[in-house]
Amino acid sequence: MKSKLMFLGALICLFTIPAAAEDSKVEVFGEYSYLRFNPSLSFVNSRSFNGGGGGLTFNLNKYFGIKAELMGYGSTNYTIPAGTVIPNSNGEVTANPITTQANMFTYLFGPQVTYRTPKVNVFGELLFGGSNSNGYANIASAFNGVGGNVATGTQHPFTMGLGGGLDVKVSKNIAIRPIELDYILTRYTNPETLTNNQNSFRYTAGVVFYLGR
């Protein structure tokens, strides 16, 4: 009986060790990223940010890992039309159109859960960290001289990301990430809202490299 148990244990080891060896310890990725940013100001509509970055995921086991990422964005120019009411006590309006531009940088980390198949990995994530943007500062600068009262300075608020995506394996060590969708919460201060929450959405796509098998 003892010899049978030993034989069974040997078989289990034989099949589980190669399977474990197929799971990479570290996933390194580089991505293009599109962020649809909602400034939460009544006189500024949502704006498009294009950029990219990268990071890594350290896998603690087959299903659970810790992800860290850095992303940078530059926005397209945005025009605030003439006749826009400036948010201050004087009730002033813009006499001429105002054009602003902004950038953003995010740094997030947190848990990632992955369901793995031979060809496709599907993952979900909950990331926390911070970001910074000069968007509100640039709007304030544009309003200088016409009574603008908008939050100034580059801010570094709490930022959160919630979402997921999938990786399609093209070889043992490389996968294509065709889609990752995330809800992004930022907390930039502005004079018009009580919560100071901006609810934005992000699309990313790129390449993943599997290391440390």
Q: DSSP characters for 71-140?
A: EEEEEPPEEEPTTPBPSSTT--B-SS-EEE--EEEEEEEEEEEEEE-SSEEEEEEEEEEEEEE-HHHHHH
Mean pLDDT of 51-64: 96
User: Per-residue pLDDT tens for 130-168?
Assistant: 999 887 777 766 666 554 455 556 788 999 999 999 999
194 has a pLDDT exceeding 70: no
User: Per-residue pLDDT tens for 43-53?
Assistant: 677 889 999 99
Structure confidence at residue 7 (pLDDT): 41
Yes or no: is domain 24-211 CATH 2.60.120.10? no
Structure confidence at residue 144 (pLDDT): 61
Mean pLDDT of 7-20: 40
Which pLDDT band, with edges at 50, 70 and 90, does 192 fall under?
Answer: low
Per domain, the residue ranges of the chain are: 24-211
